[in-house]
Structure 1
Amino acid sequence: MVDDSTKAIYGPTTSRYYFEENVFFSDFKSQTLDTAIHDFHQYNFIQRLNYEYHDLGNIATAISPIFYKLPEQIGVSSGWNSFTPYWDTERVRYYDTQSPFSNMHLVLGGEGRSITDVDYTRNIRPNWNFGFNYRGLFMDKQILRQARGDRNVVSHYYDFFTTYHARDSSYFAFFNFRRMSHIQLENGGVAVEDDYVLEDFFEEFAGTNLVGPQSYDLRTNLHLFHQYRLGKGLEIYHVADKYRQYVEFKDNLRGNDYYDFEFLPNSAVLDRTVFRTFRNELGLKSKRGPLFLNVYWAARNFNIDYKWIDENDIDLETKGIEYYAGARAAFDISSKIRLSAEAEYLLSTNYKAKAAIASPWLDASISRYTYKPGFVQQLYVGTHDGWINDFNNTEATQIQTLAHLRKKSFTLSVGGTVSSIDNYVFFRSDRQRSNQKVLPEQLSVNQFVSSPELRLGFLFWKKLSLSSRGVYSIVSNEATSAIQVPKVFLHGQLAFQDIWVHGNFDFQIGLEAHWQSGYFANGYDVPTQQFYRQDHFMTNEFPLVDVFFNWKMKRGRIFFKYNNVVQAITKTGYIPTPFYPGQINILDFGFDWMFFD
């Protein structure tokens, strides 16, 4: 839209977004739309997650954290998490717009890899907004690709959202519906002989262990949050979440030697599990000056349905209700320093507690969790696998600190993460077993991981930046540990950013590098979609170097990125997960464009 002088009056500053948490914590802060070109090239999930995950070598394939992470739930969970980051990274935004707003983000990667992301939102009334988001992930096979459209991954995610508030702000309501359908065509990794060498994984006509199997993860969530002001600084609220996860593995070509065991005598493989939860939380919260307080009570119904199991024949509780009591608190010492704490108790069993400080010179937290193993670790029956366990709850303590020194042209951050875990549940591969090679286990000895960290940043002439991060990890009882991490983890970026041509040519150009020491990275078990501890395949040490160019033009942003420059020279690359070669040297292109009409 334009005014009488034909100058556009709607743009990135007339449409703002915020999150539900901003209203919940009575700390409402909306943000302008992101139009910066800094790191715009970091579109793939490994980069967005700070290289702290490893996948199967292609974008949107099964993915697992390199370092130990605390779970979101202390109660029951499905345990199928290999595609969870593709669900969690889609955080629902709510908007306040003066005009209709839409955004298109498109990535056209080499070898048939593409991402489509479309957003649309508008205010129906000044106090009522509606919108939707769609994300499509379409990845061709990177090994034995027959033609364009020969897919490795097809994923569709979308959400619808709306928010409403009374004109006097006494009542707020947020509603959204989310759905993700994620399909991965399994290949089992590159097929090699027992006496393989690294170069075998990068042969032009390298074969795969499997052709045809398919993993499917379908998730939906219906979410409602609303609150009502009872009096000055006092509000009552209700949160409801209805979640469903459908997991399936099928293979019409039964009998491949790749599988180590056949548990069920079926002519074709079709294993599926459905996990459902419905959580209702009711609470009171208060914000008086710098102090925020919240107490709540929650009930969470759960149910899991296995295709090949009659749940009445087993002792494990596959459906029921969990009751929670919890509290949250925050205190703003100043506009830049916040102390916070939260605690949740699952009646008669588990709990979690966390305290944190956020400030310009120190970010630190301490967490204590006891949580239940996932259902897939406790009970599973499929065509190629089956087990039933009675594992104890896992107990974990984690301390994270990062102290900062910030100057105009120099930043230094020093800290690290310490994790102590008891009764850790994980999957392990044992080649000496006569049938099933990969099974869940619970470790009776303590797992202790210490990861000191150093970050450095330099800015020269206000245009040339150099940033780096280094992590050195020490694992107790490394030879028998359930947790394997690279001893050294390094990342860095050198970039030049400036604005030329009278402010019309805003660009960033540079290179990004990542390196980590070789280690026994977790392997991937195809029929159960689980990552497992193994000790026979050590990933290689390899410098992963990308060259990028980001450019802003009016309301659009464009990037070019050449991936894995070193492989173009050496003809060999890196292996993030055993038997799965990583991204080859290839050129990617992407852009986004905003519309305000």
Structure 2
Amino acid sequence: MQKQFLFVVFFFCLSSHFSFAIGDDSTYHRYNPLWTNYFHPRFPDYIHSIDTSIDKFHEYDMLQQHFGWMNLGNNGTPAFQTIYHSMNNSELQWGLEQSVSPYLKSPENIRFYKTLKPYSHLYYVMGSKSEQQLVGTHTQNIGRNANVGFEFIRQGVPGFYQRQRADVFDLDVFADVRSKNQRYEISPYVIMNKLNWQLNGGITNADVFIDTTLIDKTLADIYLSNTRAEFRRNNYGFYQSFNWGNHYITKLSDTSYQQQFNSSVRLFHQMDYSQSLYTYLDDSTDFHFYYPHEYYFNPDSTSDSTYYSLLRNEISIEWNEVKHKDSAETTERKFPFNIFVIHDLHQLPFAQKKYINELNAGFECHSWLRPFYFYVSASAGKSEISDLNYRAEAYVTWYGSLSPWQFFLNVRTDNHPPSWFQNSYYSNHFNWNFNFKNEGQTFAELGFYNSKNSAYGGIKYVVNENHIYFSANAQPAQHNGTLNGWVIYLKKNFRFGKIHVDNEIGINLVDENVFQLPVYAGKHLLYYENSLFKHALDFSSGIEVNYVSDYYAPSFNPATLTFYQQNLTLVHYYPVADFFVNMKIKSARIFLRIENLDQGLFEPGYFTVPSYPAADRSFKFGVSWMFWN
């Protein structure tokens, strides 16, 4: 811990030196967030500025940035959702990655940059029990029409108990190259995800929080004392597009101009090849944990592995808004739309055929009929091993001409095949081979958004047909019939001078026996925020409270990384309060955080799921530094 503290002190002193020593004029030329933006090639017109604020800067962990998720009590461990979510796609899926998806980089969530000067960002976090996290970004232009860079996340969390260590390493390398006339663009990328865990089967002592003889939590007895698992997923691919439209000139400075391109018709193509691998090792013979099937192949040890690969090609033609010849302003097309075709080539484990073909096609269309905005989409497809899948969505929004209010109605229905993992799996402890029917999901959602008051919310009526879930025997099962329910969500931020109250809640009114979700999940922040010393220091400090209502939380199966149904243990929670301080001094941002501050006030501790205790009170410290060279 002393070495880590000295490293952080050196890091902060170095950042302070470069931020202040050169002087105001030179500092400006080394720190200007307006120099750098990021985008995604799928939506090139949506340009985002990098975040330099201290708003929720203390939420450093990847799972904390996704509301409605909970882990096994240790950062970086497999996680489950506490808010009902509808499926986002109707294609055939592998399915084994569901509990680790928040930790994975993918082609859809990586960033591509545009920057006037080389941009770098480092973000270091350290905490109790030698927890460490390092996030880094570097990107720079090569000439006016090319950009290259990389981003990475490295996280190591030993945990409070035996066999609880989690290691996360994600890396993406990207580039964006445009032709001189801006008509052609290609954006290649390489993504590597590697997640490692020392897993246990939970602790054996349900009174671990009140056992006075247990001086050190690492001495607590556990199930499965010699298990480990690894999940890998690599992506190799590119986006490319060719545009038809008009050119215009943008002034960059008094002596510099750049030719820009207004695209009215766009031919878009993505090719992506992904490889996924999951391995599970257990050198012990504590196989009664896997009751009723202690083992299938080897009674002495377990060495399971399963793989999946996908080659995807997507082609679309987009008719965008017609744009003026000499500016970036748009003249609206009545019905901008695009049509697309997706071909997937799956390589699935345990399949009779080595490669499975799947073809999907669809369209999207939107239009402004003020004050209404309309959006319609539909797609359908089929693979060689599944029935027809389809998806249709209709969306309408009302915008007030001078009002910050927006109201929307969204209706969606889809029919998708079971994932391959739900249908087939073979390992030393769990074997199944099902032939489930397609699942159906339909919902109607009514909601609102207020840009002035930072508020949005809605109510969703959901209908699930033939829902697939993991039953009490830790294997998939299908509910034959229809399950109806309601989901309510709301986010509202209040401000009283320098005092802020931020709230985000979700209410699940669904069948608890099948979905096993809490009725209530909420996240609430009360904090003071101000700029001090003539805006030289941005400062915020307060309390963040997370709470879910008591419910029969699912049990965890380490062999398959799944959460399954249980109705024996009612898991009790209390409002978990974290104290935080966020600060910003020019290009340096710092946070201090005490997690589970109120441990012992309501209860001596709590379990996130049966047999998996949440982390004790702990301290976290983080520093971030952005610079342009």
- TM-score (norm. length: structure 2): 0.84
Counterpart in the other structure of 2:312: 279
Question: Could you list the per-position Cα deviations for residues 186-215 of structure 1 after superposition, in whole angstroms to 9, with x for gaps in the alignment?
Answer: 11111137xx69746995442211222111
What secondary structure does 1:438 align onto?
Answer: coil
Bigger Cα displacement from structure 2, 223-232 vs 132-141: 223-232
Kindly state the Cα deviation for residue 283 of structure 1 after the two structures are TM-superposed.
Answer: 2.1
Counterpart in the other structure of 1:234: 265
Distance 1:404 1:124, change over 3 A: closer
Kept in 1, the 8 Å contact 2:159–2:615? The answer is no
Question: Could you list the per-position Cα deviations for residues 298-333 of structure 1 after superposition, in whole angstroms to 9, with x for gaps in the alignment?
Answer: 211001124xxxx44xxxx66310011111223356
Match of 1:549 among 581, 588, 605: 581
Note the 1:481-496 alignment, pairs <5 A: 481-496=513-528
Question: Could you list the per-position Cα deviations for residues 476-534 of structure 1 after superposition, in whole angstroms to 9, with x for gaps in the alignment?
Answer: 4x4xx311111222321111111011111111111111222100111111111111111
Kept in 1, the 8 Å contact 2:545–2:576? The answer is yes
Kindly state the Cα deviation for residue 29 of structure 1 after the two structures are TM-superposed.
Answer: 3.7
Mapped to 1, the partners of 2:129 and 2:27 lie a distance apart of 42
Counterpart in the other structure of 2:348: 304
Mapped to 1, the partners of 2:80 and 2:425 lie a distance apart of 20
- Residue 142, structure 1, aligned to residue 160, structure 2: yes
Kindly state the Cα deviation for residue 593 of structure 1 after the two structures are TM-superposed.
Answer: 0.2
Counterpart in the other structure of 1:148: none
Question: Could you list the per-position Cα deviations for residues 435-490 of structure 1 after superposition, in whole angstroms to 9, with x for gaps in the alignment?
Answer: xx3221000121222122344432112x21112234332224x4xx3111112223
Counterpart in the other structure of 2:436: 391
Mapped to 2, the partners of 1:398 and 1:12 lie a distance apart of 41
Match of 1:466 among 466, 485, 501: 501
Mapped to 1, the partners of 2:54 and 2:354 lie a distance apart of 48
Question: Could you list the per-position Cα deviations for residues 199-236 of structure 1 after superposition, in whole angstroms to 9, with x for gaps in the alignment?
Answer: 46995442211222111110011121111124562222
Kept in 2, the 8 Å contact 1:54–1:577? The answer is no
Counterpart in the other structure of 2:283: 252
Kindly state the Cα deviation for residue 381 of structure 1 after the two structures are TM-superposed.
Answer: 1.1
Bigger Cα displacement from structure 2, 166-175 vs 542-551: 166-175
Mapped to 1, the partners of 2:464 and 2:149 lie a distance apart of 42
Match of 2:184 among 171, 174, 183: 171
Counterpart in the other structure of 1:521: 553
Kept in 2, the 8 Å contact 1:290–1:333? The answer is no
Unaligned runs of 5+ in 2: 1-17, 247-263, 322-330, 400-404
What secondary structure does 2:599 align onto?
Answer: helix
- Residue 40, structure 1, aligned to residue 57, structure 2: yes
Counterpart in the other structure of 2:29: 9
Match of 1:342 among 368, 377, 380: 377
- Residue 507, structure 1, aligned to residue 539, structure 2: yes
Distance 1:197 1:141, change over 3 A: closer
Match of 2:469 among 426, 430, 450: 426
Counterpart in the other structure of 2:447: 402
Distance 1:333 1:496, change over 3 A: farther
Bigger Cα displacement from structure 2, 552-561 vs 88-97: 88-97
Bigger Cα displacement from structure 2, 91-100 vs 54-63: 91-100
Counterpart in the other structure of 1:452: 488
Kindly state the Cα deviation for residue 286 of structure 1 after the two structures are TM-superposed.
Answer: 0.9
Mapped to 2, the partners of 1:576 and 1:46 lie a distance apart of 14
Counterpart in the other structure of 2:571: 539
Counterpart in the other structure of 1:562: 594
Amino acid at match of 1:206: A
Kindly state the Cα deviation for residue 414 of structure 1 after the two structures are TM-superposed.
Answer: 4.3
Unaligned runs of 5+ in 1: 146-150, 430-436
What secondary structure does 2:42 align onto?
Answer: helix
Bigger Cα displacement from structure 2, 499-508 vs 202-211: 202-211
Distance 1:5 1:61, change over 3 A: closer
Question: Could you list the per-position Cα deviations for residues 84-135 of structure 1 after superposition, in whole angstroms to 9, with x for gaps in the alignment?
Answer: 1111588211111121111001111211222111101000111100001111
Distance 1:326 1:123, change over 3 A: same
Distance 1:583 1:342, change over 3 A: farther
- Residue 376, structure 1, aligned to residue 421, structure 2: yes
Amino acid at match of 2:69: Y
- Residue 87, structure 1, aligned to residue 104, structure 2: yes
Kept in 1, the 8 Å contact 2:83–2:508? The answer is no
Distance 1:77 1:412, change over 3 A: closer
Mapped to 2, the partners of 1:6 and 1:45 lie a distance apart of 35
Distance 1:242 1:337, change over 3 A: farther
Note the 1:176-195 alignment, pairs <5 A: 176-192=189-205
Mapped to 2, the partners of 1:405 and 1:254 lie a distance apart of 58
What secondary structure does 1:111 align onto?
Answer: helix
Note the 1:47-58 alignment, pairs <5 A: 47-50=64-67, 52-58=68-74
Counterpart in the other structure of 2:253: none
Identical-pair percentage: 21
Counterpart in the other structure of 1:432: none
Amino acid at match of 1:508: S
Mapped to 2, the partners of 1:420 and 1:198 lie a distance apart of 41
Note the 1:214-233 alignment, pairs <5 A: 214-230=228-244, 233=264
What secondary structure does 1:565 align onto?
Answer: coil
Amino acid at match of 1:30: I
Mapped to 2, the partners of 1:5 and 1:569 lie a distance apart of 51
What secondary structure does 1:82 align onto?
Answer: helix
Counterpart in the other structure of 2:11: none
- TM-score (norm. length: structure 1): 0.88
Match of 2:332 among 277, 287, 290: 290
